[in-house]
Structure 1
Amino acid sequence: MSIDHDRLFKELISTFFIEFIELFLPTVANDIDINSIQFLPEEVLTDVTAGEKKIIDLLAKVKYREQETFFLIHVEAQSYTQQDFAKRMFKYFARLYEKYDLPIYPVVIFSFDEPQREEPKIHTITFPNLDVLKFEFAGIQLNRTSWRDYLNQQNPVAAALMAKMNITPEERPQVKAECLYRFFVKLHILPPGYAVPPCQGGTTGGS
């Protein structure tokens, strides 16, 4: 039976949304009132031209700290590489902006193992004499992220996602075991006394 990775990532991020923002978007985390977070109902967008329907992975309404101004955080989990994905993200952005009329902070977490090239994060429309559009989203590409940089993070999202980060084949089995242990301990599923051998490189966190 195939695993719906996008659904698993969506559940992880929605369950640990604050921890996700703190880990990967610390500036945004500092700007928002964490008590104001409101997850909006599931959005289904229809692409009439392609005849496809898209369910938005996660959409949250948040308020700036000590202000009465709101904005949206839109998170997409992408488990495979896709041509013109930045263009698709812009279309999602435009539809959501039209509906809610609020500023939108778009985020994509790329979880595929291959390819390791940097994924495009910008969609532009330009003419020789006019720059019409430059749309950009925050991209988190796990296979280009060093797991060692997150080794000492006391964050369940880091523990869950380290195994999808840039790891050598020799390190992979041990890193996966360490990540599972850390994640389960944070959820109080394993007794604190249970341990696995330390990851290669110990807990230095160096890259």
Structure 2
Amino acid sequence: MSYLDRTLKILADKFAQDYIKWILSGSFMLVEKLTTEFPTITRYADLVYKVKDKEGTQYIFHLEFQAQKSKDPMNLRMLGYNVRLLEQYKIPVYSTVIYLTEEAYEEDQGYFKSIFLGKEVLIFEYNVIKLWELDGLSLLKERILGLYPLLGLTKLSEPKENALNNIIKEIKRIKDPIISKDMLFSFKVLSGLKHSRDLLDALIRKEEIMESAILKEIYEEALQEELKKGLELGRLETLQSNIMGVLISRFEVPYKTEKQLEEKIKSIKSIPVLQKLHIDAVKAQSFEDFLKLLEKLEV
């Protein structure tokens, strides 16, 4: 699973009430996050919550982020999720899909209709949000923190660099330093779907996001997954890729050095050694410290 999926999952979990407020209105409150039992709902971007209105009536709120085109028709997927959730929890379900980019969107009208002999025998509707059509400044003014990381994917004024920088300044004004760093990291990850890495690196320095709790949680989850997978086909390549991903995310690595290091990492064929290097990449205080640890290893 990618850093993008992990970031979306953690972000939506930490700020679930913000998404509920934005999509369902402030009259709904989070009751609990639900863990589905369906094999079809295993993607990290699929999130299911139990919510309640002011009268205490409970509902299921299903949220999905879509960053790439769906292999199956989205309306059928959403219908399948809705029916299974309704069958399990026996309370009304409201589904929403948030398209992160235009490339992921395929004329999704937000409904499924089945007609038999000229009669509509099934009508199912769900909510569709296309970020690139939303005004970023208007969303920013709503002061809903959980939405801040999405703002780089909204409709922004020209020049884009100035608009992005204004959002970043607002994120840095958040009083809680932990939340501010989490927002900054998530904003950079998600904005990378639309804006160049060079531009984002210029606007957000690596040291500004290194202490993000979300970033650390992603690293820890990735590390735990690798430790549990066992020896399997492609694991060497996965570990090697993860090590490079951590280093590039955390430190300013010159391009020439990056390529030389990548060759060095790819030459290591020992899974225990790569696991140790992955841990070192996560914990190293600087890129130079990691290189020293790499030199000490017997490979």
Q: What is the TM-score of this pair, normalised by structure 1?
A: 0.73
The equivalent position to 1:123 in structure 2, one of 112, 129, 132, is 112
- Secondary structure at the residue paired with 1:120? coil
Aligned equivalents of 2:163, 2:2: Cα separation in 1: 21
Query: Contact 1:59–1:72 at 8 Å: present in 2 too?
Result: yes
The equivalent position to 2:100 in structure 1, one of 107, 111, 136, is 111
For residues 48-96 of structure 1, what are the alpha-carbon distances to aligned partners after superposition, in whole Å with 9 as ceiling and x for unaligned? xxxxx634721111222133x3111111111112251111111111111
Aligned to 1:176: 164
Matched, 1:186 2:174: yes
Query: Contact 2:67–2:104 at 8 Å: present in 1 too?
Result: no
Matched, 1:10 2:9: yes
Q: Give the AA of the match of 1:88.
A: R
Indicate the percent of aligned positions where both proteins have the same amino acid.
23
Aligned to 1:86: 75
Aligned equivalents of 1:6, 1:77: Cα separation in 2: 9
Query: Contact 2:99–2:105 at 8 Å: present in 1 too?
Result: no
**Cα shift at 1:37:** 1.5
Aligned equivalents of 2:3, 2:175: Cα separation in 1: 22
Query: Contact 1:62–1:71 at 8 Å: present in 2 too?
Result: yes
**Cα shift at 1:113:** 4.2
> CA 1:116/1:149 → structure 2, altered by over 3 Å: closer, same or farther?
farther
Count the aligned residue pairs: 176
- Secondary structure at the residue paired with 1:186? coil
**Cα shift at 1:142:** 0.3
Aligned to 2:39: 46
**1:136-175 equivalences in 2 (<5 Å):** 136-167=125-156, 170-175=158-163
Aligned equivalents of 2:160, 2:102: Cα separation in 1: 12
Aligned equivalents of 1:183, 1:110: Cα separation in 2: 23
Aligned equivalents of 1:172, 1:24: Cα separation in 2: 26
Query: Contact 1:109–1:140 at 8 Å: present in 2 too?
Result: yes
Aligned to 2:238: none
**Cα shift at 1:115:** 6.2
**Cα shift at 1:116:** 6.7
**Cα shift at 1:161:** 1.4
Displaced runs of 4 or more, over 4 A: 115-118
**Cα shift at 1:117:** 6.8
Query: Contact 2:137–2:156 at 8 Å: present in 1 too?
Result: no
Higher relative contact order (CA 8 A, sep 6+): 1
Aligned to 1:25: 24
Which structure features the higher share of helix residues?
2
Aligned to 1:37: 31
Which structure features the higher share of strand residues?
1
**Cα shift at 1:188:** 2.6
- Secondary structure at the residue paired with 1:166? coil
Aligned to 1:202: none
**Cα shift at 1:123:** 1.1
**Cα shift at 1:114:** 2.8
Q: Give the AA of the match of 2:8.
A: F
Query: Contact 1:10–1:77 at 8 Å: present in 2 too?
Result: no
> CA 1:11/1:59 → structure 2, altered by over 3 Å: closer, same or farther?
same
What are structure 2's unaligned runs of at least 5 residues?
181-299
Aligned equivalents of 1:78, 1:116: Cα separation in 2: 8
Rg: which structure is higher? 2
